[in-house]
Amino acid sequence: MNKAELVASIAETAGITKTEANGVIDAFAEAVAKTLKKGDSVTLVGFGTFSVSKRAARTGRNPQTGETIKIKAKKVAKFKAGTELSNAVNGGK
């Protein structure tokens, strides 16, 4: 499902226009990004948790040349599915 299909689905389910649904999705994404940038997490009970994880610096290898390279440390966004979402994906188990 791409963003346009998600917008259409939300608009139909919530009984709002596609423009309003698009605005809601954009506002949600912006709020999550701002929160993660501050280092906090976003928890939606039953759905899941968005958080930031630190990835340590490490040594890698260029697959074309075999040359050893240094990979910088960085922060990455992470999502852990909640129980209800996991159960829905696994057929209600």
pTM over 0.85: no
Q: Considering only CA atoms, which of 60, 58, 56 is closest in space to residue 75?
A: 56
Query: For 3-89, which CATH superfamily applies?
Result: IHF-like DNA-binding proteins (4.10.520.10)
* CA pair distance 93, 61, nearest whole angstrom: 41
- What does the pLDDT profile of the chain (93 residues) look like in tens digits? 999 999 999 999 999 999 999 999 999 999 999 999 999 999 999 999 999 999 999 999 999 999 999 999 999 999 999 999 999 999 865
pLDDT by residue (tens digit) across 42-64? 999 999 999 999 999 999 999 99
HEC letters along 38-88: CCCCEEECCCEEEEEEEECCEEEECCCCCCEEEECCEEEEEEEECHHHHHH
State the pLDDT at residue 91.
82
